[in-house]
Amino acid sequence: MPQIKDHYLARAMKKILDPSRVIEDDLERTIYSCDSSFLSAQSRYLPDIVLLPRSTREVSEIMIFAFENSIPVTPRGAGSGETCGCVPAKGGIVMDLSTWNTVEEVDAQNMQAMVRPGVVHSRLNEHLGRFGLFFPPDPGSTRMCTIGGMVANNSSGMRAVKYGTTEQYILGLEVVLPSGEIIITGGKNCRSLKNVSGINLTKLFVGSEGTLGVITQIRLRVWPRPRARGIAMASFDKLEQAPVAVLDVYKAGILPSGIEILDQSAIRAINLYRPEINLPSCEAILLFEVDGNPASVHWEGEQIAEIMRKQPARVEWSTDPQRMAALWQGRSVVAAAAARLRPDGTRVFAGEDICIPLNKVAESLRIIKSLGEEYQIQVVAYGHIGDGNIHTALVINPDNPDEVDRLGKLVDKIHRLAIDLGGTTTGEHGVGMVRSAYSLLEHGNTLEQMRIVKTALDPKGIMNPGKIY
């Protein structure tokens, strides 16, 4: 798609950026052709050039040049996404923002922080911890994903049950538009926590997957760090008991900070990865995390334990920081650890992020299990059952074309099942390239309105083309 010669592009970019932050080398560019998605493992989407900007001015100058020359631009964080979202579908420029990782300001008095897009989620929370604060959304990829990527994909994770998704914590954004113009959403000098003045463009950019502009600074709402935490682990002999138990906890008036489910295979994968975690062998485990002040945590923990025992389920209640960290870490890495279940196979990220209405979760788990048997593909189910967001890890041998073919069919069935049950193909990972085929099915004629908005901001279609719409 670039209308200009590569060497001209490189020369122009080196006038904007220090040459050490301009990557032209063939192999290095090839390395930028992937994220975690299975699609990017199978196909190569090479950028023509990779740039590592570290200021808004640099990003703006790059965009002005790209706009004038109709060069596609794909922003990228840590590349931990699962949708080919940061992969340059049409070549052009990849803007690696992961090295632009400064926390510009923690405004503790106003409960907010200003950060650059490359800040890694767990490092942000380490930093905020010094102020007794935290940024609540808690993705499983906390140790690698960047805040910029979280905003672009409206990520959430394990504590969305109580704290919601990233969008609820974005007070404002600095965005470089495809034309190179710099805008600030949420009020240009605003430090208030609420603002209903004007159309909420912040929400427009959150979750837009880099298709509307480049996010260069984020004004985040931060919260006081809870004083206490506890985890109740309930193990069930029957998988179907688990979703019922979740609803019973809600009915009892308790809102845990996280409710996670692990099926039998996920339990086995975690035990293979970290044997010392020693999860009990059963059909399903629910992890309930409660946080708040010590008295409420203790009370809620007891209530949950009582509800679980009635199911019946075996319950382990822990407030020991080491045990809690081990359980939470086990859950957070199961995504990749699922590969341990099959010596000749790997876990692939495809069809992995459906979100189902709460009253249909049990049904969806049962159907997905039988679909796995029908297509002879191992399905590891885990995820944020508290908000119906089920991750299905599919374990295959990617060298076997027949398995890859069956995988494609199974993924399609899973996505369509989610829509049929009144859910969505993606609860928190995004659409990217891998789910864009379902956009019309999910949104109907609203998709056309999305395209109109996209065209208004990006008339030349240079921002992350080939995604979502």
Partner 1 sequence: MSLLEDNVMGEYLKKCVRCGQCRYVCPVLEVAGKESASPRGKVFLAGLLQRGEVKPGPQADRILSLCLTCGACAAECPSGLPVDTIIKSARNLSASVHPHSPHRIMQRSLFSKLRTLEKFPGFMPLLRYAMAREYGLKPGSPARSVLPVITSPKRRKPRIRVGYFLGCATNYILPGIARSVVGVLTHLGCEVVIPPTSHCCGIPLVTAGEAEAAARLLEINRRSFKSFKLDAVVTDCSSCSFHLTDVGLYSVNSQPVYEFSEFLVSALNPDKPHGPLSGAAVACHSPCHFRHGRKLSRQIRQIIDIIPGIKVVDIPGGNSCCGGGGTFSLTHRSLSDDILQRYTGRIKSAGIQKLVTVCPSCIMQISRGLRSQEIPVCHPAEMLHASYRLPG
User: Which spans of this chain sit near partner 1 (rule: CB under 8 A)?
Assistant: 23, 25-28, 30-32, 34-36, 40-41, 50, 52, 78-80, 96, 98-99, 120, 122, 141, 143-145, 272-273, 333-337, 339-340, 343-349, 397-399
The nearest distance, CB 335 to partner 1, in angstroms, is 7
Tell me the closest approach of the beta carbon of residue 382 to partner 1, in angstroms.
13
Nearer to partner 1, 144 or 184 (CB): 144
Between 335 and 356, whose beta carbon lies closer to partner 1?
Answer: 335
Q: DSSP 3-state assignment of 122?
A: helix
CA atoms of 143 and 122, how far apart (whole Å): 5
| Cα–Cα distance measured from residue 76 to residue 96, given in angstroms and rounded to the nearest whole number | 5
Residue 124 CB, shortest distance to partner 1, in Å, is 13
CA distance 284 to 260: 10
Question: Least distance from C-beta 26 to partner 1, angstroms?
Answer: 7
Nearest to 337 by CA among 327, 347, 322: 347
Measured from the CB atom, is 31 or 295 closer to partner 1? 31
Nearer to partner 1 by C-beta: 59 or 290? 59
Which CB, 253 or 343, lies closer to partner 1?
Answer: 343
Q: Which is nearer to partner 1, 98 or 202 (CB)?
A: 98
d(CA 87, CA 79) in angstroms, rounded, equals 8
In whole angstroms, the minimum distance from the beta carbon of 407 to partner 1 comes to: 14
In the complex, least distance from residue 20 CB atom to partner 1, rounded to whole angstroms: 9
Taking the complex as a whole, how short is the minimal distance between the CB of residue 80 and partner 1, in angstroms?
A: 4
Nearest to partner 1 of 272, 437 (CB atom): 272
- How near is the Cβ of 79 to partner 1 at its closest, in Å? 6
> What is the token pair recorded at 407?
């995988």
Which has the closest alpha carbon to 86: 150, 139, 140, 28?
150
As beta bridge partners, residue 51 has 22, 95
Smallest gap from residue 41 Cβ to partner 1 (A): 7
Q: At what angle do helices 401-420 and 361-374 cross, to 10 degrees?
A: 160
Closest CB to partner 1 among 75 and 79?
79
What angle do helix axes 241-251 and 361-374 make, rounded to 10 degrees?
160
| Alpha-carbon gap, residue 398 to 416, rounded angstroms | 23
Residue 258 sits at the vertex; the CA angle it makes with 275 and 392, to the nearest 5 degrees, is: 65
Nearest to partner 1 of 47, 178 (CB atom): 47
Strand (E) or helix (H) holding 49? strand 49-51
Encode 207-236: b = buried (16+ Cβ within 10 Å), e = exposed: bbbbbbbbbbbbbbbbeeebeebbbbbbbb
DSSP string, 198-227: S--HHHHHTTSTTSS-EEEEEEEE-EEPPS
